[in-house]
Amino acid sequence: MTINHLTDRPKFSMQRRRAVTGLWFMAPGLLVVLAVTIFPILYSIYMGFNTISLTTHGFHFHWNGLGNYRLLLSSSLFRYAIVFTLVYALVTVLVELVLGMMTALVLQRMAWGRPALLALLLLPWSLITVISAEMWGYIYNGVYGALDAILLEFGIIHKPIVWLGFAKLAIASTMFADVWKTMPFVAILLLAGLEMVPVDVIEAAHMDGASNWHVFWRIILPLIRPTMSLAILFRVLQAFGLFDLPFVLTGGGPGTATESIAVLGYQVMFQDLNFGPGAAVASSTTVVVLIIALAFLWVFRGMAEEGVA
């Protein structure tokens, strides 16, 4: 924030003029955002307050107040989906952060071969989720799966395990596939953060007799906190929209063990054609995601200012 000390008038009005010009240039982009993001969100929220019936002549809206939301809260499917998605986001992001940090630290210290390894790491991240989910489906297959074949070969297990056939195992397997895919993204973000930590500060700390452990906890970690927050924010938002991985890998099963909010929303809206409750599912996620995002931005801004000061 560099505005505070610029208070003399001519500069201010010039700045304002510039801002107005800027706004004009931004207008087309803003309009697109308005059309494809803001409008659908507001419309969905409106839909969520209605009972919607579909006829040959289109949709009919009947105001239903909080009826759809009461329906959601009374549904064990919705409550489970919320808990599952929250736990899923928490666990995967935490694991990705720890593994990502470890990977980033190793990458930073690599004397040679770093570009090659970076490219390799990006491979899972660049794969389309639907494709990698299909691939994991083959790996986890309970009869012909590669994972079972390897474990059997080495005598670690004695009969094939159906990885996606038990609730807890299926959840863990889905989480593993997610970590495999997105950990590199976190690692690369963190690596960028690590690269920005001034070398002289670390050298000075070492000269003062600080151990590696101390340097990491007291110097490196605080300095890359903004990068970390950003990585966490990205990942939490993505984890909350969890759809393609369980949709392809487990179809939400076994039972409803891996049914995320987005999978449930898809089912209610596009399979059951229950547009009111479906919109309420979607809106409720939007609200939760917005709250998380705003909370993070707030914390992040605090940290950034702290970092600058």
Q: Which of residues 77-96 bind another protein (CB under 8 A)?
A: 77-78
Interface residue with another protein among 12, 270, 295, 301 (CB under 8 A) is: 270
Q: How far is the CB of 118 from another protein (least distance, A)?
A: 23
Using CA atoms, how far apart are residues 101 and 85, in angstroms rounded to an integer?
24
Residue whose CB is less far from another protein, 178 or 193: 178
- What is the separation, in whole angstroms, between the first and last Cα of the chain? 11
Q: How far is it between the farthest Cα atoms of the chain?
A: 80
Q: What are phi and psi of 149, to 5 degrees?
A: -60, -45
Interface residue with another protein among 166, 216, 296, 300 (CB under 8 A) is: 166
Residue whose CB is less far from another protein, 191 or 269: 269
Interface residue with another protein among 91, 99, 124, 165 (CB under 8 A) is: 165
Exposed, middle or buried, 75 (CB in 10 Å: 0-12/13-18/19+)?
Answer: middle
Regarding 298 and contact with another protein (CB under 8 A), the answer is: no
Among residues 118, 81, 132, the alpha carbon closest in space to that of 259 is found at 81
Q: What angle do CA 64, 44, 232 make, to 5 degrees?
A: 125
Interface residue with another protein among 210, 221, 286, 293 (CB under 8 A) is: 286
Regarding 138 and contact with another protein (CB under 8 A), the answer is: no
Regarding 7 and contact with another protein (CB under 8 A), the answer is: no
Sites for another protein among residues 24-63 (CB under 8 A): 36-37, 39-41, 43-44, 47, 52-61
Distances (CA, A) of 180 to 79, 166, 259: 28, 21, 20
Residue whose CB is less far from another protein, 226 or 277: 277
Using CA atoms, how far apart are residues 266 and 247, in angstroms rounded to an integer?
10
Q: How far is the CB of 125 from another protein (least distance, A)?
A: 13
Residue whose CB is less far from another protein, 108 or 256: 256
C-beta of residue 235 within 8 angstroms of C-beta of residue 186: yes
Q: How far is the CB of 26 from another protein (least distance, A)?
A: 21
Amino acid at 37: T
Residue 219 Cα to chain centre, angstroms: 27
Residues 89-128, mask of contacts with another protein (x by CB under 8 A): ----------------------------------------
Regarding 65 and contact with another protein (CB under 8 A), the answer is: no
Handedness of CA 109, 178, 289, 38 (dihedral sign): positive
Sites for another protein among residues 236-265 (CB under 8 A): 238, 240-244, 247-248, 250-257, 261-262, 264-265
